[in-house]
Chains A and B, each alone.
Chain A
Amino acid sequence: MPSIAVNTPSPHKRRLRSNSALIDNPAVNNTPSKSSSPVKSKSARRRVNDSPSTNRANVNNNNNNNNNNNNNKLPVKKLLDSLLDKPIWNPTESGQISAVKEALHASTAQSMVVCREEEQKRIVEFCRQCLVEEMAGSLYICGCPGTGKSLSMENVKGCLDVWAKETGGQLPDVLTINCTSLSSTSEIFNKILEKSQPNKKVNGRSAPLKQLQHLYSQKQQSPDAKMMLVIADELDYLITKDRVVLHDLFMLTTLPFSKVILIGIANAIDLADRFLPKLQSLNCKPTVVSFRSYSLDQIIMILKQRLMALPFVVFQPQALELCARKVAAASGDMRKALGICRGAIEILETELREDTCTSTLTSMVRVDHMAIALSKAYKSPIVDTIQSLPQHQQIVLCSAVKHFRKGKKDTTIGELNKFYIDVCKSTLIPPVGITELSCMCRVLGDQGILKLGQSRDDKLRRVTLQIDEADIIFALQGIRFFRNCLQ
């Protein structure tokens, strides 16, 4: 759990160009003391051959070495160094590689969450209001996967901690549930009940929901009953056919003496509208905070912030921009961007392993590495697989494409056999029998290229194409026979 880093900036900390964008923008900084030093950003977990002193020694040595060697470097390198403000990394040193990969891992905790300040402010405000007025409330957080929802919630919890300590206010009980781990949907009420009454024995007589409703409909006996903050992650797992559980959960917050602040997290934007219409009539619809997908600038900023913690430069700025552009255009998913950057580093590693005589000048991750990593991430293996299929299976696909062009998009294996025999005859290849053909269709169906239906008789099974016709034509265009056939 990341705690807020209270750090005085070290006197040697140089003002980096990439840093200036952050510091100059006033909306970004939550508190001035949150900038992280290189050592602090490492995870608390120790690594295998590591001891707390060696890595720090490494980093210090690196800095010292670079300061000492400044005069011995090539003029080009000096220029680059001065442009970039930090030395270029040395990928042959394994400590550096693992440091970079760790910084780019999605699970590495961040002490400062950039680009989500607006949303976090709203959530913290909402919680503070509820706590101050001792009123229950509900909030719904929505957004596509990889937009920082769970990450922001961790930060919000930390902020509330700080606020409670500063103002002497009451810290709420926090219950975080991931709804996928519940074995049945109504178990969430069990968990809320257990948390709200940890000392009391579990009363098996009435259902937990009823108990909770009973509890919150009466004035509390003890005046210092704490508020409870319930964070329900992946809320759509609670959606049942009759939508009762979700309703009851949100209705808990509308009871007169309720102590629950409910924050639900899910992907669908209109969950509240579609599944909780009754709440609107009661005028207690949850507030919606939507986390939009990251844009190009935001992705670049986040990547730079993660890499800023390292004492060396790893990526060329154009490479980062290419990655951010592609990911922002595709999904805006931050995990994907981080994964692609890690993939680019691995490509650089393999390249360096294969030819050992490169200077450190070329050891930054360049645009071509990033381009290869991007194509691996977004390319589907279908074209390669079609090109390596055996000849008869390719003829089957070709005859299917030709036939489906005419109109009907599905046919039976018996019909497909006829077209297959026609295509074979046109090129004098002897066709295989119907049993071999249905075997081949089954193999293609296994791979997800064709879709086969069920039938008693093998010949009557329905066949449709599951991949795009254009993929097949593109894959087979290198072979003249198929090119002519598919014109």
Chain B
Amino acid sequence: MVERSVDEALLLLRKRLCDLHFIFSVFSDSPDSNYSKLKFIVSSSVTEACNNSLLLLGPRGCGKIAVLDLVLEDLLKEYPDMISVIKLNGLLHCDDNCALKEIARQLCIEHELMFSKVASYDDNSQFMIAMLRECGLAHKTVVFVLDEFDLFAQGKQRLLYSLLDAMQSVSSQAVVIGVSCRLDADQLLEKRVRSRFSHRKLLFLPPQKDDLQRLLKHILLLPTDSNLSRDYVTDFNSRISNIIADKRFIEITDKLTDSDCTVSNFMRFLFSAVSCIDSKSGYMTLENFKSALSTIQRQPKLDCLKDCSILELYIMVCMKRLEVKEQESYNFNSVMKEYKTIHDSFKTSDYYSHNVCLRAFEHLLDRQLVEFADRGHNQCIEYRSVKLLISHSELHQGLKSNRSCPVSYLKTCMI
């Protein structure tokens, strides 16, 4: 009985984390939010039958397209036959011809007309202007969504000019919404196009710390009125509330948001935390979040170092010592000399032969932990200058995390 609840709860949480509408509906209730502002602008254009244009700006993963989709969905429900939406993407429809063809095709689908694939650029553009005029007469607003707006602003900007020029005439009723992650997207426009584009910009910023708390509670707390068992739900929710208030959890989320505070990154983190839930116990723990953080902030070189053999570690330590001694360039032979001096001074037990060391060195080359510093292929491996590809602190950390690494290595490392 408990296990079925756990499975259902996991399913519910995962579904929530993949549903952008659910996530961004948290931020949509205040009248100051971007959702309300966007809805006001688009709905007033629809009801007052005037043309409008605006830009949605913000870093990637902050919910621009998600909020726009929410707004359009709500408006389509409120005004069922009065809006048609045309979506273009700057990455897919980079050419003016391509973009116009796509506009014509989508208009045809919306209004159930036959689309001709052999229509020329001229035909498509006449068609678009005629359709805009027809829609204007029928009081239908056409909403153009231009994703990756800055890519449309490359080249001669003919598509943007013709769209915005069509909006300057009284007979059409259209809203052009540009979505871009470049903050200076409107500076990229030519002055003619910029003059026709209204100055309205909506800035989407990553959420602040208290907004993140609200979002966490909204997503992770299970609803009490679902068909999961009441006790399980209350237990689950109380544990989640305890974790959220814990100082260590706040440290974990701080570490995550200090390098990337966008909503999409945070959702990825929560998804991997939820996937780590132990199905036997059925509750979330702090450990889930810690392991989620380590999967997101992976250090591939450190993982590599964990699997190195002792001899390989030894070679890398010698190279580090040579670098610390400010030797500009060194090759395998100088590394061997250093190896011999360490062996002599510290009297370590294992001393491997030249060929074995060479084989270990080749392994390091394969794993890309060291590489050749020059480009030539004429000399053999021992004489070509090499360099370490990991920093000293990474090497130090790797030595600590390697299970078979004896303590004396650390001593030799710490010059």
Taking Cβ atoms with an 8 Å cutoff, the residues of A that contact B are: 43-45, 47-48, 94, 97-98, 101-102, 105-109, 144-146, 178, 180-181, 183, 234, 237, 267, 333, 335-336, 339-340, 343, 346, 350, 353-354, 376-378, 380-382, 384-385, 388-393, 432-436, 440, 443, 446-449, 466-467
Residues of B within 8 Å of A144, CB to CB, are 191
Interface string of B172-191 (1 = CB under 8 A from A): 00000000011111000001
In the complex the two chains form, is A391's CB within 8 Å of B258's CB?
yes
**Which residues of the other chain, B, contact A105 by a CB distance below 8 angstroms?**
50-51
**In the complex, residue of chain B having the shortest beta-carbon distance to the beta carbon of A429:** B258
Contacting pair A390 B165 (CB below 8 A):
no
Residues in B whose Cβ lies below 8 Å from that of A181:
122, 125, 162
Q: Which residues of B are found within 8 Å of A48, using beta-carbon distances?
A: 47, 49, 139
How far is the CB of A274 from the nearest CB of chain B, in Å?
18
What's the nearest-Cβ distance from chain A to residue B111, in Å? Answer: 19
Which 3 residue pairs spanning A and B have beta carbons closest together? A145-B195, A377-B199, A448-B182
Residues on the A chain within 8 Å of B394, using CB:
433
A446 to B259, Cβ gap below 8 A?
no
- B183 x A449 contact (CB < 8 A): yes
Looking at A234, A343, A433, which has the most chain B CB atoms within 10 Å of its CB?
A433
Most buried by A among B51, B192, B199: B199
A101 touching B206 by the CB < 8 A rule? no
Binding site for A on B (CB under 8 A): 31, 40-41, 44, 47-51, 57-60, 120-122, 125, 136-137, 139, 150, 156, 158, 161-162, 165, 167-171, 181-185, 191-192, 194-196, 198-201, 203, 205-206, 208, 257-261, 297, 299-301, 391, 394
Partner pick for B51 among A107, A376, A385, A435, CB 8 A cutoff:
A107
Contact among A45, A393, A443, A449 for B49, CB-based, below 8 A: A45
Residue of A nearest to B298 (CB): A435
Q: Which residue of A lies closest to B206 (CB)?
A: A388
Contacting pair B49 A107 (CB below 8 A): no
Closest residue on chain A to residue B48 by CB atoms:
A98
Q: Offer 20 A-B interface pairs, CB within 8 angstroms, sorted by A.
A: A47-B139, A48-B47, A102-B48, A105-B51, A106-B168, A180-B161, A180-B165, A183-B122, A339-B200, A378-B199, A382-B183, A382-B184, A384-B205, A385-B59, A388-B205, A390-B259, A392-B258, A433-B391, A446-B59, A448-B150
Contacts A101-B50, A448-B184 given; does A183 touch B195 at CB 8 Å: no
Say whether, besides A43-B170, A180-B161, A181-B162, A447 and B182 are in contact (CB < 8 Å): yes
Tally inter-chain residue pairs, CB-CB below 8 A: 140
Assuming the contacts A380-B184, A381-B203, A432-B259, asked whether A146 and B195 have C-beta atoms less than 8 A apart, the reply is yes
Chain B residues in 8 Å Cβ range of A98:
47-50
Quick one: closest B residue to A237, CB to CB?
A: B156
Nearest-neighbour CB distance to chain B for A15, whole angstroms, equals 30
B199 touches A101 (CB 8 A): no
Report chain A residues within 8 Å CB of B122: 181, 183
Chain B residues, CB < 8 A from A449:
183
When the two chains form their complex, are residues B181 and A107 in contact, meaning their CB atoms are under 8 A apart? no
- Report B-chain residues with C-beta under 8 Å of the C-beta of A44: 170
Q: Do residues B183 and A350 form an inter-chain contact, with CB atoms below 8 A?
A: no
CA distance A167 to B206 in the complex (A): 68
User: Is A180 in contact with B183, judged by CB distance below 8 angstroms?
Assistant: no
Residues from chain B with Cβ under 8 Å of A45 in the complex: 49, 136-137, 170-171
User: Can you name the residue of chain B whose Cβ is closest to the Cβ of A417?
Assistant: B391
Given contacts A108-B170, A336-B199, A446-B60, contact A390 B257 (CB under 8 A): yes
- Expressed in whole angstroms, the Cα–Cα distance for A440 and B44 within the complex equals 39
Complex Cα spacing A434 to B59, Å: 21
Query: Closest Cβ of chain A: how far from B63's Cβ, in Å?
Result: 13
* A107–B168 touching, CB < 8 Å: yes
Known: A390-B259, A393-B259. 14 other contacts (CB 8 A): A45-B137, A48-B47, A145-B191, A180-B162, A336-B195, A339-B198, A377-B199, A388-B261, A391-B258, A391-B259, A440-B260, A446-B59, A448-B150, A448-B185
B206/A390 in contact, CB under 8 A: yes
Which A residues lie within 8 Å of B182 (CB)? 446-448
Closest to A446 in B: B181
Nearest neighbor of A144 in chain B, beta-carbon distance: B191
Q: Which residues of A contact B257 (CB under 8 A)?
A: 390
| CA A48 to CA B43, docked complex, whole Å | 13
A234/B192 in contact, CB under 8 A: yes
Q: Which residues of A contact B57 (CB under 8 A)?
A: 381
Could you tell me if A447 and B59 are in contact, using CB atoms closer than 8 angstroms?
A: yes
